Structure formats: C-alpha cells, structure tokens
Chains A and B, each alone.
Chain A
C-alpha cells in the first residue's frame, strides 16, 4: 500500500526511525495477532509485540526489506514466545497500556463450534501446529512459512502435508468414526 509521509531529509537516524515506523505500522497488528493466537493470555501478547519490535529496532540492519520483513518479524516473535515460555522477563512497563487495553477489549472466547479442531490442534507436535497455524491463520504460503521456521520450502511442503494428515486423523479420532481412511490416519497420528 503506497504510503505518504512528510519528512525532512534522508539521514541515518531519521531513516532508521522512518523504517521502524513503517515496520511497526504495517506489521504491528499482524504480530499482535500472531502472538494472541499463541499466548495463553491476551496480555502476554503485548509483551511479545514489545520484545519483537524491540529486537527489530536494535537489529534494524538485519531486518530484510520488503515483504520479507513480515516473515522476519514472525520468526522473531516465534523465538520471543519460546523465550517467554522459558520464563524470560517481561516488558511489563513498556506494555502497561497495551496490556490493559487487550485485557479490556479481548475477553477470552473460543469461536463457536471450533473447540474440536482447536483441541485436535493442541494435541499435535509444536512444529506441526506452528506450520498449520502459519498457513491457516497467518495466511502464509508454505514457502513463506518455511522462511519463518528456518527450513527449506520443500521441507515445509512435506511437513505441511504430514501435519494436515495428523490433524485430520486427530479430528477423526475425536469424532469416533474409526473406519477406512480415518482409521489409518488415526494410526498415523498415534505413531
């Protein structure tokens, strides 16, 4: 989306701030969404957004230009969440206001009729689940998801195929159909 802005002149610091502003305005909500979908509490997502963009600011030179910046941010957010799960400190003071707003505006609700697939998803290995969520929820192509995960596009496609099969099997198992193809898939899921 073309964007207009009024600037003085192109100078290193100003460029950095301009570039960061664009990253933040273009991808801030996407990273928030990514974090919300993976954090147990909406407020935790605020910390993930803060840590991800703090990393981006500190390593702005490493953030690729163009559309790949988004993938870099997803990849960083993924690592931030992993660290958060390992008990890393939070950016509580930085995110006080955002946490409060998320707490107020986002009551924890599961979309109606989706508990089955969410349960099936949660039963998968993290790598399978992450790949499925990147493609299904972040709407990335397998090749883009591969970049986020640091694997080849070929490997991503192959893993995605297997992850879908396992998800299908878990759903089938939950539904108790237990016959034909689904039975085979259920066996696959138990492997």
Chain B
C-alpha cells in the first residue's frame, strides 16, 4: 500500500473531522469555560498584571466584541478619592475613610508644570489592590475607542488620539505583585520595532524602562514613542506609561514624579467623583428619567460607603435597574406573561434616553452594552460573529448575580442555596 493510500485511509478514519467539530453547537459552553479560566479563582497567571480600567473595567469575556465592564464594574470596590479638584486648597478636612485609603496607596503625584490628576481609581481584585491615576496637562484628554486589526504580533490600530493629545497624558498604575513578573510579561508582549530596555533613576530607586513599548505595528515613529517604566515600592509594582516625543521627555516626566503626603494627594484628586456622604442624593439624581419596575427599591443599589466616580455609581444604578427589568422579562417569558414581557422590553427600549447613560457614554462603553442588550430583547437572542446566542446569559454579565439579582436559573439556585454574594472586602 502506498503512503498516499495509507494517509487517505487514516484521514477517513478520523472519528472527529474538523467539519464535525465546526458543526458542534457548543459556543455558549465554550465561552463559559473560557470565562471561568480567566476569571476563576485558579487563574493566577496570564495577565499577572491586573488591568488599569478607565473604560471597560476588567472585562472578562472571551472572544466577545461587546464593550463594557459588565459584572466587573459592579463588583469592583472603586475607591476614587476626591477632594473637590483641589480648588479649596490644602487644609481641607477629609473623612477618615478617605485618609485610610489614601495611606494605603502609593502617594505619588506628577508635579510637572501645568499637570494635574484627571482620574484616579482604586479597586480590590483577586490579586489584591490595584489602582490607577491619569495625569494630564491642558484640556481634558478623552478616552479612546480604538480598532485593532491584523494578526497577533503584527496588529495595527486605528482610532488613537493624535500624538499631540496622547502626549499630554501620563498613566500611573499600581498593584500588589512581583516586579520581575510584570517586566517578564511586558517582554513577552509584541514589540514591532524591537526591544530596548534601560535603567533610569526614579525617586530614590531606579526603574526598568521599556523604551519601545508601542505594541501596534503602525505606531512608534520618531517623535512619538510609548515608554513604560517599571519599579516596585512597599509591596506594589508600579508602572508609569507615557507617549513621548523622545527619551528625554520620558525622563523629564519621571523626574516630575513626587512623593507627597496624604493631604496633598487628596487635594489633587479631581472633582468628578461622588463622595460617600453624597451617594444617596447622587443615586436619586441618576434615577431621574429611568423607568423602574415595581420590584425596584433604592436599597437594591449597592452602596459601599466609599467615594466613587459618577461613572461607577451610574453603572451600579443602571445595572440594578436593568437586571430587575431582565429578571421580570425572563420570568414573564417562562410563564408566558406577555404584558409583563412587553413592559420590560419597552422600559429597556428607553435606555438610550437615560440621562446618566448618556453622560457615562462620554467616558466608557458600559452604556453601549446596556443599549445593545435592550435592542435584542424582542428577539431574545444575541448575534455575535454570525452565531445566535441566548440573550439572558449575556444580560447576566451586567453583574446581576453580584447584585443579588441572578437571571439564570442555575445562578438563582446557587444563591438560594448559598445566599447572596458577600459584599466586597
């Protein structure tokens, strides 16, 4: 028997040829497994560096293009600290809670001429505490919505802000973890223009700097470089990222980094936050223009007693209301209660007009997620890359289970057996 014949016989004996595998309808199960791997308690690795989260707040969906922070947003204990933009100057009295969190953070500011804090965020994750700060100069720097194309390792990006705008922002990110791992991970990231690492002095230590951290193949020309400095301090790994015209400009930014005391750090925080004491009033304001179901009570909206950005509070408010509507919708569909089903669909159809979502849409993609879910309610399916998926598991990812409002029967059963989820630490 010739080799070709043998190979033909062998191929024909393949019990699971690729077309049979393609025909399997297991996408939801696969997606669930993927999410469990990335988000489950066993996932200590992969991105050992936990992500800074200005827009989508640690999305954990696998292979899904829908933007939005979903469950992670709602679950995150966001500890954005506010002093009212520093307009009142120093000497402001801060609540003990704020001071406690400030003292638990690396008290660093970028004290370059004209630079200020645009945003700050701290949250607890499975890996520990992680936080971010954005420093900008000039006009506020908006968030970017970029489009990535191409193969891994040679990806190209479109939609970035112009270099002149990008270079007005510096990002500081910290988390508990290993410096060696953070650097090791960065070394594994695509470097389309090669790698060049340096040691540069920083504060009272030195930083390891990736001077060719462009990542995307169509970025990184002379006059527009992305650089990242890595160092560690008090158990934190810190990372300062900036687009700069050249290395000298990056060194200048590193030189501006200053250790400050709690008061100065809190004074520097931006105004666009909701203080803990103002939470209920802010929630009442955000609920204006939102139809709520009969099952809604303001107490269902989580209040951690902490200070958070309006974006985060808005996510909690709109997620709670949306989950309740989806709960009504799902139960109505199961029981054949068409009027209740239609009521939920019509209420969610107004979400495009909810004032807080319109406000949030300038800062992130969470509103888009709710709007897309609302649009799919009448069909009850979610179409992604040509495949139709049931809508309810998708809606569950608004964080409904974490809010104590699980939509899926198996999650409802789990919560009946084990009680509602514990509040974040």
Residues of A within 8 A of B (CB): 2-17, 19-22, 24-25, 28-30, 32-33, 36-37, 46, 49-50, 53-54, 56-61, 65-66, 94-95, 97-98, 100-102, 105-106, 109-111, 113-114, 117-118, 121, 132, 135-137, 164, 167-168, 171-172
In this assembly, does B44 line the interface, its C-beta being within 8 Å of a C-beta of chain A? yes
In this assembly, does B25 line the interface, its C-beta being within 8 Å of a C-beta of chain A? yes
12 additional A-B pairs beyond A11-B52, A53-B33, beta carbons within 8 Å, are: A10-B189, A12-B185, A15-B215, A21-B62, A30-B18, A32-B24, A36-B16, A36-B21, A37-B16, A54-B37, A59-B45, A60-B185
In this assembly, does B144 line the interface, its C-beta being within 8 Å of a C-beta of chain A? yes
CB distance from B256 to the nearest CB of A (A): 22
A132 contacts across to B, CB distance below 8 A: 10
A-B contact count (CB 8 A): 212
CB distance from A182 to the nearest CB of B (A): 8
- Given contacts A24-B34, A109-B15, are A33 and B21 in contact (CB under 8 A)? yes
Give the residue among A8, A29, A167, A171 with the most B Cβ atoms within 10 A.
Answer: A8
Q: B215 touching A10 by the CB < 8 A rule?
A: yes
CB distance from B199 to the nearest CB of A (A): 20
Q: A136 touching B10 by the CB < 8 A rule?
A: yes
- Given contacts A14-B51, A33-B18, are A6 and B67 in contact (CB under 8 A)? yes
Which of these, B15, B26, B36, B190, contacts A65 with CB under 8 Å?
A: B190
Residues of B within 8 A of A (CB): 1, 3, 6-7, 9-16, 18, 21-22, 24-26, 28-30, 32-34, 36-38, 40, 42-52, 54-56, 58-63, 65, 67, 143-153, 173, 182, 184-186, 188-190, 215-216, 239, 365
A22 contacts across to B, CB distance below 8 A: 152
Bound Cα distance from A149 to B48, whole angstroms: 28
Main secondary structure of the interface of B (DSSP, over half): loop
Which of these, B1, B26, B38, contacts A101 with CB under 8 Å?
A: B26
CB distance from A135 to the nearest CB of B (A): 8
- Given contacts A14-B47, A58-B44, are A8 and B146 in contact (CB under 8 A)? yes
CB distance from B368 to the nearest CB of A (A): 10
B188 contacts across to A, CB distance below 8 A: 60-61
A11 contacts across to B, CB distance below 8 A: 49, 51-52, 173
Main secondary structure of the interface of A (DSSP, over half): helix
Q: A94 touching B40 by the CB < 8 A rule?
A: yes
- Nearest to A10 among chain B residues (CB) is B215
Q: B7 touching A136 by the CB < 8 A rule?
A: yes
Bound Cα distance from A77 to B64, whole angstroms: 24
B9 contacts across to A, CB distance below 8 A: 114, 117, 171
A32 contacts across to B, CB distance below 8 A: 21, 24
